[in-house]
A = this chain, B = another copy of it.
Amino acid sequence: MCEANAYLIENNEPVLIMESVDTVKPEDDGINIVNIFGEQKFIKAQIDSLSLVDHKIFLKKMSS
């Protein structure tokens, strides 16, 4: 399985917000993430970067 962990960067520090993320879908006002267990979160954030070999998704607060 190649899911990743999602981190929200706050004050330059990554904070784990969801493990085993499967799908990620940016929306106009945030981002939807769903893990392999079907749990879903909507976060007012956008993708900062991905590092898939490290299984990491970095999100950042939306620039408003």
A→B interface (CB under 8 Å): 1-4, 21-26, 36, 46-53, 55, 57
Contact = CB atoms under 8 A, between A and B. Distances in A.
- Counting every copy of the chain, the complex holds 2
Main secondary structure of the interface of A (DSSP, over half): strand
16 contacts: A1-B53, A2-B2, A2-B55, A21-B52, A23-B50, A23-B51, A23-B52, A24-B47, A24-B49, A25-B48, A25-B50, A26-B46, A26-B49, A36-B53, A47-B47, A50-B50
A32 B15 CA distance: 24
Contacts of A3: 52-53
Contacts of A50: 23-25, 50, 57
